[in-house]
Each structure stands twice: as C-alpha cells, then as structure tokens.
C-alpha cells in the first residue's frame, strides 16, 4: 500500500515535471535550463508547506511528499544541465544555475514552511 502510494505520486510528479519543465523551457532562449530551475524551486516551496502543516497523515505524506514532490523535483537533471553548460564554455551560467537553485530553493522552503505552519 505504501509503495503503491509512492508509485502513484511519483508517476504524477514526473509527468508534471515533464510538462511544466518543457513548457517553461520552450519559452526561453534555450541558453539556460529555466525548466528544471523553476520546477525545483517550486517543489522546494511546496515541500515546505507540506512539512510545515503538521496535521497531514502518513498516507498523505507518502503520496504528496515522497511521491509527488519528490519526483516532481530532480537532482540528476540539475547536475547534468550544469555539466552541459560547463561543456559549452558558459562558465557564468554553469556557476549561477546550482547557486540560484540552492539559495532560492532554500528561501522557498523557508517561506513554504511559514505558510504551512500558518495554515
């Protein structure tokens, strides 16, 4: 049952990331991985809200936290896209991508927690 909840949440999260990521990426110039950046920051904010709201039960957490948001955000694409930026010789962008992900993601999580606690 637990694994099924994680599977369902994870499937939906991956599709949401695929859709949102490619939609956002399609609007840019293709020189910066905006898709993954926005998805990861958004996901960090949502997980802040989920964790901040302590009334949620185990099954909701498995589906929404570990499943959906866990799969919605990604670390491997962030690493890979940074590597591609480096290989293209865009060192500034390659430095900014993980830096912005980390700092704004952290801020998003903090903000999300405030919202989650207040809910």
Partner 1 sequence: MLDFFLVALGGGLGSVARFGASQIFGASPGVYTILGINLLGSYIMGAVMPWSSAQKQRGRSFLGVGVLGGFTTFSTFILEMYGLAHGPGFMQAFIYGVGGLGCGLGACWAGAFSFSLLNARYDRAEPETELENEEIS
**Interface residues toward partner 1, by CB under 8 A:** 2-3, 6-15, 17-19, 40, 43-44, 46-48, 51, 62, 66-67, 69-80, 82-83, 86, 98, 101-102, 105-106, 108-110, 113
Q: How far is the CB of 89 from partner 1 (least distance, A)?
A: 15
* Spatial CA neighbour of 50 closest among 68, 65, 66, 70: 65
With respect to partner 1, which residue has the nearer C-beta, 8 or 56? 8
Half-sphere exposure of 88 (CA within 13 A, CB side): 14
Identify which of residues 24 and 51 has a Cβ nearer to partner 1 in the complex. 51
CA distance 106 to 83: 22
Spatial CA neighbour of 44 closest among 119, 96, 98, 112: 112
Least distance (Å) from partner 1 to the CB of residue 18? 5
Min dist. Cβ of residue 29 to partner 1 (A): 20
Cα–chain-centroid distance for residue 93?
Answer: 19
We find the least distance from the C-beta atom of residue 76 to partner 1, in angstroms, to be: 4
């Amino acid at each position: 049952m637990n694994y099924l909840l994680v599977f369902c949440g994870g499937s939906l999260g991956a599709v949401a990331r695929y859709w949102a990521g490619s939609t956002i990426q399609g609007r840019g110039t293709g020189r910066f991985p905006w898709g993954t950046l926005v998805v990861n920051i958004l996901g960090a904010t949502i997980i802040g809200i989920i964790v901040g709201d302590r009334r949620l039960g185990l099954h909701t957490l498995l589906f929404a936290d570990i499943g959906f948001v866990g799969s919605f955000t990604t670390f491997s694409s962030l690493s890979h896209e940074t590597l591609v930026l480096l290989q293209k010789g865009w060192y500034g962008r390659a430095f900014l991508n993980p830096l912005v992900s980390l700092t704004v993601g952290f801020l998003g999580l903090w903000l999300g927690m405030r919202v989650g606690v207040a809910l």
